[in-house]
Copies of this chain bind each other. A is one copy, B any other.
Amino acid sequence: MQRHSSLENAADLAAVAALLQIGAEIGVDQLLDSGGTFSAADLAKVADLPQAGTDDYLAALVAAGLVVDTEIPNRFQVAEDYPDWRYASGYVSWSLSANGPFLDHAREFLVDRDAAARAHQRNGRRVAVSSRWIGARAFYPPIVDRVAAAGARHVADLGAGAGGLLIKLLGQDPARTGVALDCSGAACAAAREAAVAAGVDGRLQVVERTVESLVDDQGPVEGANVVLACFVMHDIVADAAVAKGVLGACRDALAPGGFMAVADAVSYASQPAERKFSALFTYLHASFMSVTLPTEGQWLDTFQAAGFSKTEYVPLGTPGARLFVAVK
């Protein structure tokens, strides 16, 4: 590996991603991600599996250096660098596991995309978990900073998934309220549970509805100081009328001085540090999901067409991703 010293630990990264993916499959990802201490029995209980099975998995995590002993006998904890590995693994898990049905049936997609898309769908949980591993480091911090700087009292999140970002925002300000909108009933149920667990359920309204439905009823975003949307708008912006309708409804509904913060991807970003992941992301969306990503210019035009007075953007940590901030 003369030219790419940074590829030296490819085997490490591949192994960690596979081990964390197994953790997500058996349902211990949240326990590991929490960073708290746990026993072997805790792991089996959370996974709802025979302890012999989770003991072997735990032994593998310890051998890999991802989990370590603590000062308390028989209690374990993730290693200090676990969050770094989890973030890096997010890219691998998203690319290979979440998109596994696309990769495994690539030939079918290249012959007849629509038929293949009906036959081979992604597992929503795998998409959500890997996206969370990436997003917690790459998208959440810059969004949280902007919401805090604006002193936003009421925040709506479109495509909120399990509500992680919004719950984090509510946790930071006891006067803040939020609306989580998602078209998936499972995601909404998970968001309600997570809000209860975090003690913010009294300030979080969860709405099971599509983003497109805002055209006819802007109720869920009405009066928001900030409307967030992470990687959901690219599904609708290809249709200029729908884009204008949805974004226009958000603009109209925003409180005076409010803004939209849209984290999303641009088509084929060409900088050296971005081109590889952006190529995969753009290609998979176009050839496997019938989604044509906009360029930066097209994104800006779309916000302008919806009536926003000013839109600025900054790059996010994920290659090809941008945070668009559109002011009412």
Contact = CB atoms under 8 A, between A and B. Distances in A.
A219 interface: no
Interface stretch (A12-20, A230-238, A299-307): A12-20
Q: Name A's interface SS.
A: helix
Identical chains in the assembly? 2
Contact of A110 (B49, B93, B97): B49
Interface stretch (A59-67, A167-175, A242-250): A59-67
B277 A15 contact: yes
Interface string A67-94: 0000000000000110011011101111
Interface stretch (A99-107, A151-159, A200-208, A220-228): A99-107
A54 interface: yes
A60 B318 contact: no
Q: What class of interface size applies to chain A in its complex with B? A: 35 or more
25 contacts: A1-B84, A1-B88, A3-B81, A3-B84, A4-B84, A7-B9, A11-B91, A11-B318, A13-B13, A14-B94, A14-B96, A15-B281, A18-B284, A19-B280, A22-B103, A25-B103, A25-B107, A26-B110, A49-B107, A56-B110, A56-B286, A63-B268, A63-B279, A64-B279, A97-B103
